Chains A and B, each alone.
Chain A
Amino acid sequence: MIRWEWIASNVDQLVEATVDHVVLTAVAVVVGFVLSFGLSVLIYRNRRLAGPITGSAGVLYTIPSLALFAFLVPFTGLSFLSAEIGLVSYTLLILVHNIVAGLDGVPADVREAADGMGYGRARRFLSVELPLALPLIVAGLRVATVTTIGLVMVAAVIGQGGLGQVMVRGFNFRNDTAVYTGAVLIVALAIVADLVLAGVGRLVTPWSRPRSR
């Protein structure tokens, strides 16, 4: 029931959709990370902001994705921008949560030692706390990335879906091959992205996998 000749004759379109999908995802995760990092630093510097910030991110996260994309259309149209606004808002909760948890997880004795040895506040943050928060930050990035890859598909409703578009067209034209191909590529993309990030995570945190003595 898979029509291989359809795949063969539509390679260009599939590649293009895959690239779109990757770009939509990457932009969303990068922008989401930058925003989340800023929000997390605000929380780190002022604990009282933790409630309002994670609360707002939580509200965004609970809005059903189809509804959110539809809601944005009157303001920003069937555009790349609409898609990204939706995608970015879903990354915030995950990323803020993990960055804050990572910074909170820095052991008190490590912080005290850093202070006692004469680290300034900024230097302590950059060269002690941030590196120690990396494992949780990378974990957050992995979840956010995989989640976003899935959500990009939903953005097909506003004409921005990358591989989601391929699947929607498949439904509309009763083309099972297109539906399956799109689904398989999305799953493959998610797995590859997760593995790559996991590898990067291991590279940047060599201390967290102690070699045997």
Chain B
Amino acid sequence: MPDAPSRAATVDFRHVTKRYDERLNNAPGAVNDLSLSVPAGRICVLVGPSGCGKTTSLKMVNRLIEPTSGQILIDGVDAATREVTELRRGIGYVIQQVGLFPHQTIGQNVVTVPRLLSWTKARQRARADELLATVGLDPARYRDRFPAQLSGGERQRVGVARALAADPPIMLMDEPFGAVDPIVRERLQNEFLRLQEELAKTILFVTHDIDEAIKMGDLVAVLQVGGKLAQFGTPDDILANPASEFVARFVGADRGLKRLSLSRVADLPLQAAVTARSGEGCGPARQRALADPFPYLLLVDDARRPIGWIRDGDIPLAGVLTESMAIPMSPLLNRRTTLKDALSMLLDADVQAGIVVDRAGAVEGLLTVEAIAERMRDTAGDTQYAGATTELVRDAHDGAEPGSGDRSAAAGPAGTPDAEAVEA
């Protein structure tokens, strides 16, 4: 096992079916002809109501559950052909209840897989400390504690550290943040996304929470009861073009708003701001302001940092602009602010234009509620459900009739239509 980050692996589900009862096709947890491809280094979220087979699908990857038929390929190799303990040691596994070993210290827990792989003691200890630090736990404080002495959030971090211990190319995460309170959950989600930017693991992530799916996923697979893949695509795709009424209902009537949380200020063209420096003469500033349709002038300091708004009509005919003329500022946005946050801040403000500033705090431009509303109109109101909406979905369903056993990957994009997704 190299210390350097291992290459991420691809995971391909090929017509994977799991039946628990031969007579029933959609017993809870069953999976029906699931085909999807997760590219290396991406987070794929499996989301759906309870009993939709999302956890079953996940557990078939590390063979805690064996498929009834079909194959799961990891980097092109059928998981069923690998020795099961060796396969599992190469796949990180995080579960909702964490499952730390209560009789081992945190440090010992973290290096469970390295221990199974017979790393030297010194290397195990170094790895444990490194990983605890990675997940934000001070090794000196936590290494020798027992799991019972940690909070739920801390235990969950240890669970993630443990899954990363042998640097597996794939991680399976089954509702990993489901058992902690919403505040801790959000923090863990954000930290994990930041971590993933460095790690670039291939991650399969199960949740029943569509908001978590949208937030965490590069790709989202929506499953419906009976273990059918209802839609597979990017979060934006699924929100913008739900493939069926089921998906539309599952993502919720506020999908337009949800979609805003996927876009950032940087994604929209900014409106130029008419600015004037404090101390500048009123006359020229007034002329500039009136020449622009936006009814406010933005007063800035010498570094172009915003001070406040002056209504065009309130600009004196003569004299100089002073800070006392300015009315309180709108919220400050930056290019990383999500449109959802921006909208919510703007709705609260007196002047409904967000001032977008750069890292130094200097004005870059304005973002208006209208601009955001424009963006929302792109998604709102469509009741037509697209069929297979993305390349990825077409890929996954390409080439073969379900169950035919033909796994030719060469078929063109005009392959078998996704009948199940369309008819719903």
Contacts and interface: CB of A to CB of B under 8 A. Distances in A.
B99 interface: yes
B287 interface: no
Interface in B81-122: 84-89, 91, 93, 95-104, 112-113, 116
A116 B88 contact: yes
A112 B99 contact: yes
A10 interface: no
A114 B62 CA distance: 12
Interface residues on B, range: 20 to 34
10 contacts: A113-B101, A114-B101, A118-B116, A131-B103, A132-B103, A134-B103, A206-B146, A207-B102, A207-B148, A213-B145
B64 interface: yes
Chain B interface, >50% SS class: mixed
Contact of A113 (B99, B103, B116, B145): B99
Interface of A: 107, 109-120, 123, 128, 131-132, 134, 205-208, 210-211, 213
Given A112-B64, A210-B146, A211-B149, A118 B103 contact: no
B149 A107 contact: no
A205 to B, nearest CB: 7
Given A117-B116, A118-B86, A119-B85, A207 B98 contact: no
A134 B103 CA distance: 10
A120 to B, nearest CB: 5
A109 B113 contact: no
Given A113-B93, A211-B149, A118 B101 contact: no
A146 B324 CA distance: 88
A207 B91 CA distance: 28
A120 B116 CA distance: 10
A127 to B, nearest CB: 9
Contact of A210 (B98, B101, B148): B148
B100 A110 contact: yes
Contacts of A207: 102-104, 146-148
A208 B102 CA distance: 8
B149 A213 contact: yes
Interface string B42-81: 0000000000000000000010100000000000000000
Contacts of A132: 101-103
A208 B97 CA distance: 19
Given A118-B113, A118-B116, A207-B146, A128 B88 contact: no
